[in-house]
Chains A and B, each alone.
Chain A
Amino acid sequence: MLRLRAVFEKKGRAKYISHLDLNRCMLRTFRRSKLPIWYTEGFNPHPYYSFALALSLGFESSCEIMDFNITEDMPFDEVRDRLNAVMPEGMRIVSVAEQVQKITFITEAEYSFSLVSDEPEKLEEAVHRLISADEILIEKKTKKGIKTVDIKPDMKITDCVLSGGSVDMVMRLPAGTQTNYNPTLFFEALRKETDIPFEPEKICRTAILCADGNEFK
């Protein structure tokens, strides 16, 4: 049995597929591909596959991770091609390889997005004010109720440029089995910082990373 890890894109119209629906969608994709995917052996056998991280509805991604097993040896590229031949529009397997690291290795995810505004210069100023503050407090809903957290120490801005009518940013946020921060937390904080109206657009997850800063494999 081969334990495989696929990296796939979820773009365009596919960003409207919710995480729950993605599960069903992949099940049918596997069935259409006729790959010898490994089934669980319980009372109700079903193809085994799992996603490393959930992706919010409306976000695009170039780096989603899905693990699954196949029962016959075959070239990784063939697995990729057979899946791509039956994938819905906007979804594409970028690569297939053997699973190297454990899911628990994931610590961070990188996101890019554009903050579109009629007053981009002023918005950029507000962004800089916010990210240079000592702390960025936001209210986060948890299982135990609402708690106030400081996202500043965990938020790494790697890019922030003014481009036409928007402020384009790239940022890394904690992800994985321990803590997950969503870029929407940053948008909320920014809305508290400024009254300038803006709309976050083209939100895309661009990398899933490990503690050493390298991409998860």
Chain B
Amino acid sequence: MSELREKIEKHLLNVQKPSRYIGGEVGSIMKDASKIDVRFAFCFPDTYDIGMSHLGMKILYSLINERENYWCERVFAPGLDFEEIMRENDIPLYALESLDPVKDFDFIGFTMQYELSYTNVLNMLELAGIPVFARDRGDELTNIICAGGPCVCNPEPLADFFDLFILGEGEEVNLELMDLYLEMKKQGAGKLDFLRRAAQIQGVYVPQFYKFHYKEDGTIDHLEVTDNAPEKVRKRIIKDFDSVYYPENFVVPFTEIVQDRVSVEVLRGCIRGCRFCQAGFIYRPFREKHTDTIVRETKALCENTGYDEVSLASLSTSDHSEIDPMLTELIDYTAKEKVNLSLPSLRVDNFSESLLEKIKKVRKSGLTFAAEGGTQRLRDVINKNVSEEEIMNTCRIAFKGGYASVKLYFMMGLPTETDEDIIGIAELAHRLIDLFYSIEDRPKGKGIQISISCATFVPKPFTPFQFEPQDTREMIEHKQKLLLDSVKTKKVKVSYHDSNVSMLEAVLAKGDRRLCQAIYTAWKKGCKFDSWGEHFHYDRWVEAFEECGVDPAFYANRRFEYDEILPWDHLDYYVDKKFFIRENQTAHKAVTTPNCRQRCSGCGVNKVVGRECFC
């Protein structure tokens, strides 16, 4: 038994939801540590409830554990109550399977899902007793601190803290890295030697081999590459997605987590090309699993976990080419086994009537539209190909079917946005109300409720809007007030996000290496769990930026020029910068680009994949 266990258990009844901190869940994988060659601590920089919902972790956890001599374990950020106890009682950060300290692990890998979790990484490293800066960690070949996930498409703000980043999909490259580590460990090599060799593996970015030189105006002058590392680091993808490894079992938590169900990945990538959406570009090319594979994986997971709910994971499930037969087969299975099927990211427009009937049986959740823009012009700018007609048609069917509430998602502060576009949001809601009352057989005795949720637009790397400035807080506040004033009825409820959070998100998303010190300083001032409203301390961030001489507006509110060297230009996500420039120009003309299935827009992915994406 782990030496730590007794120490942990002594305090466990004094914390919220203790089952999050002790492991032992069904499906968790136990091994004999003395027979293991390489140990991998898979860290999610947020609490158990959130991290355990993350599909990527489930996949890579099971994949690594398939190898007898490797052991992957789970690590999450403790809640504030338990963190205090850990610090008071010298309990270091530990992994949930062995309950061994994270410091004992060969790889300590973080998945970076959102920018506002950056400070949690530093906090977790400190709790583990590991120096947060890579340069302070010595040359012994152990504790390789690495990261993957969408945020590492611009890893520069994190560069000083990590030994290496893994770009793209991890199913192959993670094992390659572990194999290399084992080989070099046997040879008695040091960490620097290992990193030099690791940098030669496609998808591995070792930030210490890249030095940025800046111009006087603060933009990047040039990049100096050392140690024979590649000039461009290209992300990894799984070419044969249908036969890629997928777990047959998940760890089934005792406590309720955010996504407490079986999740089956049906496709990767997206054909849509919405110009604000990072996921839509960094996960290209579009690849699908066959119906048979999806059904087989669904059955295995439901049987092995005992979950009675399954959800299909993708960026846009209805873009699957076999959506009709797939759902028909899945619904046959789930109805027979009394399993609930939930279908997020569904576009209702391209369904057959009979399928709609079937879906109605399984799906009683709310009606949600991500319209994103208030006017057709703005939706064209962002290439969100949802027309008002489609929204109206779907709502008409839904209202007749008994729905009386609609949720609409919008973004505020989009490029080219004017007051007219903001007023358009309210007007769209008003027209939906008129539509509801014009329907004879609408739900009786119910009023209609429209919820409008407005996020602030955050420009992201590897999108056509990566060049765009974010609205300043004054501009956002003006627009928020305008929207509230434009809503004429209590049937419409408006909510919006804290614009300070969105500003920080933009800075961290588009930042460069000079931000590392600011993140460190903010964390030292007590910033952590920045994505949790109640823990977000904007004032501390402002102080940290000032002390480090960083102007957040330089990153968030400045237009990045087309010919400027961007902090992520040396990373290759298969989509050409030229394409992003072209798309940016097209956006400013309010012209749409057809989806990949209609016509190839030449983003550059197919050139590298070596085939047409759709043929």
Contact = CB atoms under 8 A, between A and B. Distances in A.
Contact of B24 (A12, A24, A27): A12
Contacts of A27: 306, 308
Ranked nearest first, the 9 interchain pairs of A and B with the lowest CB-CB distance are A28-B306, A13-B24, A31-B306, A32-B306, A16-B19, A58-B13, A16-B18, A21-B254, A89-B24
Interface string A11-37: 011101110010011011111101000
Provide the main secondary structure of the chain B interface: loop
Nearest to A32: B306
B59 interface: no
A39 interface: yes
Contacts, number: 60
Contacts of B304: 32
Given A12-B24, A45-B338, A86-B26, A21 B306 contact: no
A25 B26 CA distance: 9
Contact of B22 (A13, A21, A57): A13
B59 to A, nearest CB: 21
A28 B22 contact: no
15 contacts: A16-B22, A16-B254, A17-B254, A18-B254, A21-B256, A27-B308, A28-B306, A29-B26, A32-B26, A32-B304, A32-B306, A46-B338, A58-B13, A86-B306, A88-B26
Interface string A78-100: 00000000101110000000000
A28 to B, nearest CB: 3
Interface in B441-479: none
A21 B255 CA distance: 6
A12 B304 CA distance: 23
A110 to B, nearest CB: 21
Given A28-B26, A28-B305, A89-B24, A21 B252 contact: no
Contact of B303 (A21, A24, A32, A57): A32
A17 B305 contact: no
B254 A25 contact: yes
Contacts of A17: 19, 254
Interface residues of B, number: 22
B56 interface: no
Nearest to A59: B13
A29 B306 contact: yes
Interface string B256-275: 10000000000000000000
Interface in B295-320: 302-308
B25 interface: yes
Contact of A39 (B12, B18, B22, B338): B338
Contacts of B305: 28, 32
Nearest to B25: A88
B247 interface: no
B23 A13 contact: yes
Contacts of A13: 22-24
Nearest to B13: A58
Interface in B1-45: 12-13, 17-19, 22-26
A16 B48 CA distance: 15
Interface in B211-265: 252, 254-256
A14 B565 CA distance: 55
A24 B19 contact: no
A184 B385 CA distance: 62
Contacts of A24: 254, 256
Given A17-B254, A90-B24, A31 B18 contact: no
Interface in A32-68: 32, 34, 39, 45-46, 57-58
